[in-house]
């Protein structure tokens, strides 16, 4: 049994080597300079469970990360210990405050305590723990100062009775350097849920494997009805966010600023990825058109990083999860009001990805390519129709804002080009061929 202080000190000596090996660590691109403890909270004496926040300095960047630490395991990592993580749930159920860390449940939520936790294995930037088959706790690994958009938007949506989210049930918050930070969010867990990517790629697989010359609308695994319902769910969430938190009309300056941001992203990426070069003029033209041919647009709180992996199919319909915005974007940008069309554009790009994912790394096959395009066209259209059916009047049918939607979609594709270039060069063809197609089709 080690004293807390001793444990933290031992930990600190190992962290510079340990952190970069963690999947959730956001600073893998540069060496870890120094690691300083910011705060340590003893959550349990026996067995030992500590909540530790450390500040990691990497060249010009300083970030705070949270750790859940035990001496029961050589790795110090406590998130895999079902008994210890179960204690976090108990603290929220009891509404406890320990040394400035508040464990709360939502005002009208009653939590069952005494459940063991188990971590889910598929996560990227955070760590999530499931309790029984009822709850899921997301621990935000990299801590941001100020209100956490995920928690804020979930609470707002719950407040207006939105049915297309996993209901928020509790939270862990604290203070760091005099500012509020959100440590974790507890939500209803849906054991029957399947993510939209798995649903969509099941349908694509069915179409691709068909030996007869079937079209996407004839295949048994057709996804259009699901895409339509998904469109309705997204539109409903947008309308609920607007109802809960309001909206604004974007003025000319806002739109000009948005288009400028698209242009500068394009400049940066084109410099990095030569293959994008030939498309730069057409892209720039498309962005400019969004500026010219625009109708009034509204801006509001949106999901911010919507794609098929951020939606869940349950027996009661589609849900949206993870309202954190683009994980790499700075907090201020993430919290800014955006056009709902950005989310629509994100989903449209995702349909394109789902359609083409089986072709990546394969020899060119004109028949399969045609099927992929057909699947994408059919489901993108079905999504937009569903969206239009349930959309608030100010937004309406997303295809009404053709130029702007196209610009958002292209901007997203440019972002994808940068991402794929850096991480998965094989996949670069997916956004590049989409850019070629969208800009080639003209207005």
Dihedral sign for Cα atoms in the order 199, 204, 207, 208: negative
Which of 99, 192, 285, 326 touches other proteins by CB under 8 A? Answer: 192
String marking each residue 243-272 x if it binds other proteins according to CB under 8 A: ------------------------------
Q: Is 198 in the site for other proteins (CB under 8 A)?
A: yes
Summary count for the chain: helices (H), strands (E): 12, 16
Position 82 contacts other proteins (CB under 8 A): yes
- In angstroms, the CA 74 to CA 38 distance is 23
d(CA 24, CA 119): 13
Binding to other proteins by residue 221, rule CB under 8 A? yes
> How far is 100 from 90, CA to CA, in rounded Å?
17
Please answer whether residues 106 and 158 qualify as being in contact, where contact means their C-beta atoms are separated by less than 8 angstroms.
yes
Q: Which is nearer to other proteins, 198 or 390 (CB)?
A: 198
Looking at beta carbons only, is 101 or 193 nearer to other proteins?
193
CB 389, min distance to other proteins, A:
14
**DSSP tag of 192:** T
**Contact (Cβ atoms closer than 8 angstroms) between residue 124 and residue 80:** no
For residues 196 and 317, the answer to whether their CB atoms sit within 8 Å is no
Q: Which stretch, 65-73, 213-221, 283-291, 366-374, contacts other proteins (CB under 8 A)?
A: 213-221
Residues 82/132, Cβ–Cβ less than 8 Å: no
Please tell me the distance from the alpha carbon of residue 11 to that of residue 24, in angstroms, as a whole number: 18
Site for other proteins in 105-134 (CB under 8 A): 116, 118, 121, 133
Q: Does 315 bind other proteins (CB under 8 A)?
A: yes
In whole angstroms, the minimum distance from the beta carbon of 436 to other proteins comes to 31
Lay out the site mask for other proteins across 131-170 (x = CB under 8 A, - = otherwise): --x-------------------------------------
313 is an interface residue for other proteins by CB under 8 A: yes
Residue 194 in the binding site for other proteins (CB under 8 A) = yes
Q: Would you put residue 102 in left (φ > 0), alpha (ψ -120 to 50) or beta?
A: beta
275 binds other proteins (CB under 8 A): no
- Is 380 near other proteins (CB under 8 A)? no
Nearer CB in complex with other proteins: 57/206: 206
Beta carbon nearer to other proteins, 71 or 195? 195
Outline where 210-293 has alpha helix (H). 224-245, 252-272, 280-292
Contact status, residue 331 vs residue 146, Cβ threshold 8 Å: yes
Which region among 29-37, 202-210, 292-300, 397-405 touches other proteins (by CB under 8 A)?
A: 202-210
CB of 223 to other proteins, least distance (A): 9
Backbone angles phi, psi at 80, to 5 degrees: -85, -5
State how far the Cα of 136 lies from the Cα of 128, in Å rounded to an integer.
7
The angle, 0 to 180 degrees and rounded to 10, between the axes of the packed helices 224-245 and 196-209 is: 160
Question: 57 or 163: whose CB is closer to other proteins?
Answer: 163
- Going across the sheet that includes 317-320, the strands are 194-195, 311-314, 317-320
The count of chain residues that interact with other proteins, using the rule CB under 8 A, is 26
Piece of the chain touching other proteins by CB under 8 A; list 158-166, 218-226, 293-301, 326-334 = 218-226
Q: What is the DSSP letter of 216?
A: T
Is residue 205 a contact residue for other proteins (CB under 8 A)? yes
- Locate 12 and state its tokens: 């600190």
Write the DSSP assignment of 331-358 as a string of letters.
Answer: HHHHHS-B-HHHHHHHHHHHHHHHHHGG
CA distance 80 to 77: 7
218 binds other proteins, rule: CB under 8 A: yes
Nearer to other proteins, 207 or 438 (CB): 207
With vertex at residue 151, the alpha carbon angle to CA 147 and CA 155, rounded to the nearest 5 degrees, is: 115
For other proteins, the closer of residues 37 and 119 by Cβ is 119
Q: Which of 104, 106, 195, 240 binds other proteins (CB under 8 A)?
A: 195
- 190 scored as a contact of other proteins (CB under 8 A): yes
Nearer to other proteins, 4 or 221 (CB): 221
Interacting residues toward other proteins by CB under 8 A: 82, 116, 118, 121, 133, 190-195, 198-199, 202-203, 205-206, 209, 218, 220-222, 225, 313, 315-316
């Amino acid at each position: 049994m080690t004293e807390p202080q001793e444990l933290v000190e031992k930990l600190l000596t190992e962290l510079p080597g340990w952190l970069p090996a963690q999947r959730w660590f956001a600073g893998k691109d540069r060496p870890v300079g120094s690691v300083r403890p910011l705060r340590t909270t003893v959550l349990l004496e026996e067995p030992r469970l500590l909540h530790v926040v450390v500040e990691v300095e990497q060249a010009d960047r300083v970030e705070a990360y949270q750790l859940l630490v035990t001496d029961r395991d050589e790795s110090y990592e406590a998130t895999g210990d079902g008994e210890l993580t179960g204690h976090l749930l108990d603290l929220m159920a009891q509404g406890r405050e320990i040394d400035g860390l508040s464990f709360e449940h939502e005002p009208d939520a009653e939590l069952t305590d005494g459940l063991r936790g188990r971590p889910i294995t598929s996560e990227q930037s955070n760590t999530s723990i499931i309790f029984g088959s009822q709850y899921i706790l997301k621990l935000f690994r990299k801590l941001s100062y100020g209100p956490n958009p995920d928690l804020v938007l979930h609470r707002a949506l719950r407040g207006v009775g939105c049915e297309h989210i996993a209901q928020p049930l509790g939270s862990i918050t604290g203070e760091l350097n005099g500012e509020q930070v959100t440590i974790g969010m507890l939500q209803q867990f849906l054991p029957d849920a399947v993510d939209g990517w798995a649903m969509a790629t099941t349908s694509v697989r069915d179409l691709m494997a068909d030996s007869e010359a079937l079209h996407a609308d004839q295949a048994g695994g057709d996804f259009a009805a699901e895409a339509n319902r998904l469109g309705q769910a997204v539109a409903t969430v947008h309308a609920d966010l607007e109802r809960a938190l309001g909206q604004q009309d974007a003025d000319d300056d806002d739109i000009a600023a948005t288009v400028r941001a698209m242009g500068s992203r394009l400049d940066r990426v084109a410099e990095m990825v030569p293959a994008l070069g030939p498309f730069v003029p057409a892209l720039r033209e498309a962005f400019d058109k969004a500026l010219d041919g625009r109708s009034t647009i509204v801006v509001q709180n949106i999901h911010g990083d919507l794609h098929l992996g951020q939606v869940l199919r349950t027996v009661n319909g589609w849900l949206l999860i993870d309202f954190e915005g683009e994980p790499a974007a700075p907090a201020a940008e993430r919290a800014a009001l955006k056009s709902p069309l950005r989310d629509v554009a994100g989903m449209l790009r995702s349909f394109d990805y789902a359609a083409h994912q089986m072709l990546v790394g394969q020899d060119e096959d004109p028949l399969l390519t045609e099927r992929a395009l057909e699947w994408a066209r059919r489901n993108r259209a079905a999504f937009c129709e569903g969206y239009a059916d349930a959309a608030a009047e100010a937004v309406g049918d997303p295809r009404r804002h053709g130029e702007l939607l196209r610009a958002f979609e292209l901007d997203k594709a440019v972002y994808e080009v940068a991402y794929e270039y850096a991480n998965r060069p094989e996949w670069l063809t997916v956004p590049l061929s989409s850019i070629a197609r969208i800009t080639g089709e003209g207005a």
